[in-house]
Amino acid sequence: MPTDILMPALSPTMEEGKLSKWVVKQGDKVAPGDVLAEIETDKATMEVEAVDEGVIGKIFVAEGTEGVKVNTPIAALIGEDEDASAVPEPEITTDEPKESEKPGPDEEVAKNSHPTTKAVDAPAAPQFKPQNDPDIPDDVEMVTITVREALRDAMAEEMRTDKDVFVIGEEVAEYQGAYKVTQGLLQEFGSERVIDTPITEHGFAGLAVGAAFAGLKPIVEFMTWNFGMQAIDQIINSAAKQLYMSGGQVKAPMVFRGPNGAAARVGAQHSQDFSAWYSHVPGLTVIAPYTAADAKGLLKAAIRSPNPVVFLENEVLYGSTGEVPKMDDFVLPIGKARIARQGKDVTIVSFSMGMRYATQATEKLVAAGVDVELIDLRTLRPLDIDTVIESVKKTGRCVTVEEGWPQGGIGSEISARLMEHAFDYLDAPVTRVTGKDVPMPYAANLEKLALPNVDEVIAAVNAVTYRS
């Protein structure tokens, strides 16, 4: 039985090539690995090797032929005792389409028309349905603590119940945390579970991902997320994509956490908001809390999550206080926005430090007679867009507030989703209040200008409510 030797594909994108030279001739005996021919593509000249042993029975494509399509038979291999003259000629495919295959005028038009938004066979993206916050019984005592303490308590509680949970990062143990978030953990859990690392973000993030693959539940503290950028490859390429790439086999149950965004007067490299960056990535959960209660309830949820979670804190908020219910197990749902104030005139959407500007602006606007609905996203991925859409259906207006840069920001995403899902309800353009499109300046006056502020939020609300 003759076996066809096919024009091979020699690169991921090769569709055709030139058969530049035959190294063997008809009648030659060949063994696996012998070079048969040379092929030229737009990238390189490469050799075609024999994969089976036999005799070159017939050469179908002469050397020098251009545009030989991949998988076209170029020669036939026969057994030593077979007759070459019995080899049938195959149909050769070259560049020029056959008359019957040429597109008709209608098909040409169809090719050039606008693409439809949805491929016919693509399944619909699943819709995430978040759970509601748990009911807090009336008799539960509320205690006032700082965000810093709330985060520490969340870690300590989870470490008490699950031995696989450990904290790793720079200065988390002996120093008690660069921002004192891990205060007391070393004393309670020991140096096996509260681990000081060298200054080696890329390395310890990767090490923690590997430990998570093996079933542990690391909490990786970045002294700031600015330094976490050194490790972004491990966070995205190793942690976020692992479950998908392994067909659901290998998990990365872990939390990456630390202060995110601008602090005060620390300059461009230490003042960056990564909210939009990480919220872009499927496979990650991204949480950015504002209140002490949300910090505690969501960090506990993050540690328990079987998925990799990016937990974005804010240095400026560490010392701010809030009421946290004194319960054994206060856990909040991931992916659920919190309506901080109900109103009917305008929706303000924010998260993390942006909520401070938004809250102060809301107080002033309400005093001026504007009934603001204020939404704290809390989780950025999955994004609770349903809560925002429902609000905008009521108010018809939306202002977003964030410290990050404007292009491709969280506000841009909300704006786009409202266009897609609430276009007919909008009475004014969705308006973004963001950090300015500049690296963070050091000078106090310039830094102030670069950050969003309360007046900008008020101005945006006045604009969308046509009050200005």
Q: Where does this chain bind other proteins (CB under 8 A)?
A: 6, 8-12, 14, 32, 43-48, 51, 70-71, 121-123, 125-126, 166, 192, 197-198, 200, 202-216, 233-234, 237-238, 243-251, 282-283, 285, 306-307
Residue 418 burial (CB count, 10 A): 23
* CA atoms of 46 and 264, how far apart (whole Å): 59
Q: Note if 157 is an active site residue.
A: no
The answer to whether 285 touches 334, Cβ cutoff 8 Å, is yes
Cβ atoms within 10 A of the Cβ of 164, count? Answer: 15
Least distance to other proteins from the beta carbon of 366, Å?
38
Nearest to other proteins of 51, 428 (CB atom): 51
**Least distance in angstroms from the C-beta of 204 to other proteins:** 7
Active-site entry in 38, 40, 202, 270: 270
Pick 197 or 291: Cβ nearer other proteins: 197
Cα–Cα nearest to 456, from 382, 374, 401, 390: 401
Smallest distance, Å, CB 27 to other proteins? 23
Task: Output the smallest distance, CB 125 to other proteins, in A.
Answer: 6
Instruction: Pick the closest to residue 376 from 465, 314, 429, 300 (CA basis).
Output: 314
* Beta strand segments in 51-124, E: 54-59, 65-69, 73-78
Contact 329, 186 (CB under 8 A): no
Kindly tell me which of 214 and 367 has the beta carbon lying closer to other proteins: 214
From the CB of 352, what's the least distance to other proteins, in Å? Answer: 22
Active site residue 201: yes
Of 431, 450, 432, 430, nearest to 440 (Cα)?
A: 450
Q: What b-and-e string marks burial along 217-226, b requiring 16 or more CB atoms within 10 Å of the CB? A: bbbbbbbbbb
Based on CB atoms, which residue is closest to other proteins, 158 or 315?
A: 158
Residue 415: CA count within 13 A, CB half-sphere: 17
Cα angle 435-438-444, degrees, rounded to a multiple of 5: 75
Query: What is residue 321's DSSP assignment?
Result: E
Minimum distance, C-beta of residue 320 to other proteins, in the bound complex (Å):
31
Q: How big, in percent rounded to 5, are the helix, strand and coil portions of the chain? A: 30, 20, 45
* Token pair in block for residue 299: 């960090």
Longest dimension (CA), the chain: 99
CA atoms of 325 and 397, how far apart (whole Å): 33
Q: Give whichever of 222 and 357 is closer to other proteins, judged by the CB atom.
A: 222
Cβ nearer to other proteins, comparing 121 with 139: 121
Q: Which of 295, 301, 293, 325 is nearest to 136 (CA)?
A: 325
- Residue placing its CB nearer to other proteins in the complex, 126 or 369: 126
> 16, 157, 170, 201: which one is catalytic?
201
Residue (253 or 404) nearer to other proteins, CB: 253
Nearer to other proteins (CB atom), residue 11 or residue 94: 11
126: CB partners within 8 A, 6+ apart:
none
β-strands 321-325, 142-146: how paired? antiparallel
Rounded least distance, CB 252 to other proteins, Å:
10
DSSP H helices in 275-351 = 275-279, 292-304
The rounded Cα 442 to chain-centroid distance in angstroms is 30
Specify the 3-state DSSP secondary structure of 193. Answer: coil
d(CA 277, CA 275): 6
Would you name the residues annotated as active-site residues? 201, 270
